[in-house]
Amino acid sequence: MTTGGSTAPAAGDPVDPALRGSAEAWIAEDPDPATRDALTSLLEQAGAGGQSALEEIADAFSGDLEFGTAGLRGRMGPGPHRMNLAVVSRAARGLADHLLGDLGLEDPLVVIGYDARYRSQDFAQRSAAIMTAAGCRVQLLDRHGPTPLVAFAVRHLGADAGIVVTASHNPPADNGYKVYLGGRAASPEGQGVQIVPPSDGRIAHRITAVGPAREIPVAESGWTLLGDSLREDYLAAICALPDAAGPRDVRIVHTALHGVGTETALAALHRTGFAEVHTVAKQADPDPDFPTVAFPNPEEPGAIDLALELARTVEADVVIANDPDADRCAAAVLDPHRGDWRMLTGDELGVLLGDHLLHRHGYRGGFARSIVSSRWLGRVAEAAGVDSPTTLTGFKWIARAPDLVFGYEEAIGYCVLPEVVRDKDGLSAALMVAELAALAKAEGRTLIGRLDELAAEHGLFGTSQLSIRVEDLSLIPAMMQQLRSAPPARLLGSDVVTFQDLSEGSVATTGLPPTEGLLLLSADDTRVVVRPSGTEPKLKCYLEVVGSVPAGTDPTAMSDLRERSDERLAQLKDELRAALGQA
């Protein structure tokens, strides 16, 4: 699809002629009457002088929605820069052409799943019909379900590719298209893992070569449905992880944040003996409007308020929250230092899970984390004599870490069973959180107490994040360039001893290939990593401060140390805002 240029508008018509031409061409080729009608209405409003309609059309035709290592993700609506049936149709045919043409696979097997967002089922069914017509063997999930189920299915069934129609924890207006490769289409370390270069570029090239969406062949039948047998196999695989002889006396509150995780999470918890689980009723059933949360992400302020309210009411031991497609997991506990409930950070839960799998389950191998995640897990792994590789951001890289047995990223993504699901999986992680909480309770400890013990052994690692959301995407490279050209000489009063432009590659020092980002490290071990978000219009700054814990530190003194760590992080945020010209 081509987009309009910048020629002068026709007399009396506020819509640029080239833009109007592109929109009318889209309407002629769009296979979906809903988006055809929506765009026709927008054109009428814009032609009558409606400024918001004109701006919407201009943005919808500002370019193609880019297919990359996250697949597709964006707002739903008409136009090439939106998620819609036409864009999805081209993506499905492009992926099929990649499997059949670029890779030369005969009868490639493709598994397709979807979440409960608006249009997800339509997009999934259309993908099944198009890929079947192209010559693929397609197995479509019979109803909406969690993303980890598809990642599992790719490995379990030996599929050559997997598709999940989901926007994960994005706002309600968004949708997305996530792609996995496996079987004959991927190397051994890439079985059931999200795509990375060069596959993403080759698929994108095939998508570009697809003709008009209305002319793509669509089968009326021929695919098969995957149902309860796959879900049973997945449950059996993840439910084998918790120690059958371990304690189960723990009271759990669970929320799915209006997503698709409730059914599978409750089934897994109950099957493994965690009987006392209270669900947040208002958030338990799938609802694409996400009515009780501003953003359906457990990390966002207010997202788990209802869960915390219920936890106080039932005197729970732990809150477990999944994001809407259940590939992420968050936990909240009663913090004895503060006398109230609080969310564990992604890094805190990451080190707790890694320590638990290492010492309770005897895991040996690679304990991987992304470059923006805390170095705390590395200290724990090093002390135990196991490897802790650092990867680029995202599970498409974490899942490819050598000899992987556990991987995590600070954005509440955890892989606790890489041979079962080689991606983040919020449901198997939830089982480990439940086991952690039950074990701590049986031993008369708390998870905060275990964090204190790990801090005493390896140092107190405090992490936080500064996110700068923009409307104008050009501001992100401008801020990156400002930091490149004038990086701060000191962080929290300590000299910056390392400044790395990660876009130039850092294989010699970190083992990582080039990626857009900057890393600063000061003499007192304060670290900052700055990078553009891969899925949202944000610049993200990942902050970490490290402090020692004197021997014999009591709980009161530990609370003081944590407060001091939080104060330093707040000060570091202010320094970064100033360095980025956002003070």
Question: Per-residue pLDDT tens for 321-360?
Answer: 999 999 999 999 999 988 999 999 999 999 999 999 999 9
Beta pairing class for 109-114 and 161-165: parallel
198: preceding bond cis by omega (within 30 degrees): yes
Q: Longest C-alpha distance within the chain, in Å?
A: 81
Which pLDDT value is given to residue 337?
A: 86
Radius of gyration of the chain (CA): 24
Measured CA distances, 298 to 101, 173, 517 (Å): 41, 18, 25
Residue among 171, 172, 160, 152 at smallest CA distance from 268: 152
Give the count of alpha carbons within 13 A of 339, CB side only.
1
CATH number (domain holding residue 166): 3.40.120.10
- Among 227, 122, 221, smallest CA distance to 177 is for 122
Decide if 149 contacts 233 (C-beta within 8 A). Answer: no
Query: 56 and 69 share a domain?
Result: no
Question: What angle is formed at CA 150 by the lines to CA 145 and CA 155, rounded to 5 degrees?
Answer: 155
Q: What is the pLDDT of residues 154-165, one digit of tens each?
A: 999 999 999 999
- What global pTM score does this model have? 0.94
- Catalytic choice (22, 120, 168, 373): 168
Same domain? 301 vs 448: yes
Q: Is the confidence at residue 86, as pLDDT, over 80?
A: yes
At residue 435, does pLDDT exceed 70?
Answer: yes
Q: Which of 400, 431, 457 is the last residue of a domain?
A: 457
- Number of Cβ within 10 Å of residue 270's Cβ equals 13
Whether residues 268 and 385 fall in one domain: yes
Calculate the average pLDDT of the chain. Answer: 94
- Whether 434 and 547 share a structural domain: no
> Which is nearest to 531 in space by CA: 515, 510, 509?
515
CA distance 97 to 106: 12
Q: Residues 430, 305: one domain?
A: yes
Q: Are residues 94 and 20 in the same domain?
A: no
Same domain, 410 and 488: no
Q: What is the pLDDT of residues 242-294, one digit of tens each?
A: 999 999 999 999 999 999 999 999 999 999 999 999 999 999 999 999 999 99
| Mean pLDDT value across residues 567-578 | 97
- Residue-wise pLDDT tens digits, 473-525: 889 999 999 999 999 999 999 999 999 999 987 554 566 888 899 999 999 99
- Positions of E strands within 418-547: 460-469, 490-491, 494-501, 518-522, 527-532, 538-547
Q: What is the pLDDT of residue 7?
A: 33
Q: Does 149 share its domain with 202?
A: yes
Are residues 431 and 474 located together in one domain of the fold?
no
Query: What does each C-alpha distance from 14 to 4, 44, 524 come to in angstroms?
Result: 14, 11, 58
pLDDT for 509: 52
Residues 436 and 299 in one domain: yes
Residue 32 has pLDDT above 80, yes or no: yes
Q: What is the per-residue pLDDT for 338? A: 87
Point out the domain boundary residue: 26, 42, 63.
63
> Are both 267 and 218 inside the same structural domain?
no
Q: In the predicted model, is pLDDT for residue 6 greater than 60? A: no
> What is the span of the domain harbouring residue 375?
233-457
Main-chain phi, psi angles of 541, to 5 degrees: -120, 120
Q: Which of 457, 483, 518 is the last residue of a domain?
A: 457
Number of domains present in the structure of the chain:
4
Q: Is 89 a catalytic residue?
A: no
> Are residues 72 and 56 both part of a single domain?
no
